[in-house]
Amino acid sequence: MFQKSDFDIFNDQTLNGRMDKVRTVIDPKFEAFAAAAMPILMADGRPWVAHVAKHKMRKVNPPENTWVAFAPNKRGYKMEAHFELGLWDDHLYFYLAIEENMKKTKADGPVIAEKLRGIADRVAELPADFVLSQDHMANNRHSLNEYDAIVDRYAKVKASEVLIGRQIPKDSPLLNEKSDELEAFLLDTLEELLPLYEQLAD
């Protein structure tokens, strides 16, 4: 699984160099986690697929983060609620992600926002180490008590998102190469988020 040394990929400031490290060091770990997560996801009968980020649009600047997304759609994941495991230069994260692409039309935005408001009580009951983010392409972190404000922003601002999950700092004991607890921790996070996903996906 992931360990502190994996964050060294971000020390390479070249596009080709960092992408080579993403493909050889990080992507195999995403695929290994996908093998563990898929039986849990597929228990609901949906055709879940793991989408490892390819960063094909990158021409000059290396990616600041990389991820694997899980969605029951082989064509993509951004247009629906999905799960995302990813790496920034200072932390690993696992989120239930509701991205801006879900607001396909002016009608869809209010519907999705209402569903998000409908899970507010469940979000408030998540373990204390859960956090929020409002942009999967920005390294940020918000507390669960900001959930209502972040959902309101999602309803009003096009370039906004709602991400619910956990962040694991790169100096966490879970990222010690001798630790075997990280996978269990990530799968526990998935299990905690699945009931929220089911309400959003209905």
Mean pLDDT confidence for 146-172: 94
Backbone angles phi, psi at 23, to 5 degrees: -70, -40
Do 53 and 67 touch, CB atoms closer than 8 A?
yes
Rounded Cα–Cα distance for residues 135 and 98 (Å)? 10
CATH number of the domain that residue 174 is part of: 3.30.930.20
Rounded Cα–Cα distance for residues 2 and 170 (Å)? 10
Q: Say how many domains are in the chain.
A: 1
Average pLDDT across the chain, whole number: 93
Q: Determine the structural domain holding residue 124 and report its residue range.
A: 4-201
Q: Helices 182-201 & 27-41, crossing angle to 10 degrees?
A: 50
pLDDT tens-place string over residues 3-35: 999 999 999 999 999 999 999 999 999 999 999
Q: What is the pTM of this model?
A: 0.93
pLDDT tens-place string over residues 59-104: 889 999 999 999 999 988 988 999 999 999 999 999 999 998 887 7
